[in-house]
C-alpha cells in the first residue's frame, strides 16, 4: 500500500462546478496535511494546509480532514479553467522527521 494515495484522474468538471479531490494516507501518526497545485513544467505551489479534524476554508478552497478514516480532501468551488492543473496531496509525520510524502497527484481539467 502506498503511503499517500490519490485518484490519478483526469477529473473533468465544467466551469463553475465544484471539484472534489480525495486523498488517503496509511500512517496514523501523520500530523500535517497539505494540498499543492502543480502546473505542467512548474514546481508545486501550496494551496492549503490542515492539521485538525474538520473543515478549513480559504476563499474557493475547502480542505477536509478525517483522521479516523485517514482521509483528506480538497473542494474547489466555482471552478475556473485556470484551476486546471495537477493537485498533489502531501502528508507529514513527526515519526518520519516531518518529511513530506506526496501522493501521485490528481489531474484536474475545468472545461469552459
Question: Residues 25, 34, 37, 62: which binds other proteins (CB under 8 A)?
Answer: 34
CA 39, 105, 51, 64 torsion: positive or negative? positive
Q: What element of type H or E holds 55?
A: strand 54-58
Scan residues 1-30 and list those touching other proteins (CB under 8 A): none
User: What does the DSSP 8-state code read for residue 17?
Assistant: S
Scan residues 36-55 and list those touching other proteins (CB under 8 A): 36, 41-46, 49
Q: Which residues, other chains included, contact 11 with Cβ-Cβ below 8 Å and sequence gap of 6+?
A: 19, 21, 106, 107, 108, 109
* Region binding other proteins by CB under 8 A among candidate stretches 13-21, 61-69, 73-81, 95-103: 95-103
Helix residue ranges per DSSP H, 24-103: none
User: C-alpha cell of 94?
Assistant: 513527526
* Region binding other proteins by CB under 8 A among candidate stretches 14-22, 54-62, 65-73, 86-94: 86-94
We find the least distance from the C-beta atom of residue 104 to other proteins, in angstroms, to be 4
Residues that bind other proteins (CB under 8 A): 32, 34, 36, 41-46, 49, 88, 92, 94, 97-105
Amino acid at each position: 500500500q502506498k503511503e499517500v494515495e490519490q485518484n490519478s484522474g483526469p477529473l473533468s468538471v465544467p466551469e463553475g462546478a465544484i471539484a472534489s479531490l480525495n486523498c488517503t494516507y496509511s500512517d496514523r501518526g501523520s500530523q500535517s496535511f497539505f494540498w499543492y497545485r502543480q502546473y505542467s513544467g512548474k514546481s508545486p505551489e501550496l494551496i492549503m494546509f490542515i492539521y485538525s479534524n474538520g473543515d478549513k476554508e480559504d476563499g474557493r478552497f475547502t480542505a477536509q480532514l478525517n483522521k479516523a478514516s485517514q482521509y483528506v480532501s480538497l473542494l474547489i468551488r466555482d471552478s475556473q479553467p485556470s484551476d486546471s492543473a495537477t493537485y498533489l496531496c502531501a502528508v507529514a509525520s513527526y515519526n518520519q522527521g516531518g518529511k513530506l510524502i506526496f501522493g501521485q497527484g490528481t489531474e484536474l481539467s475545468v472545461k469552459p
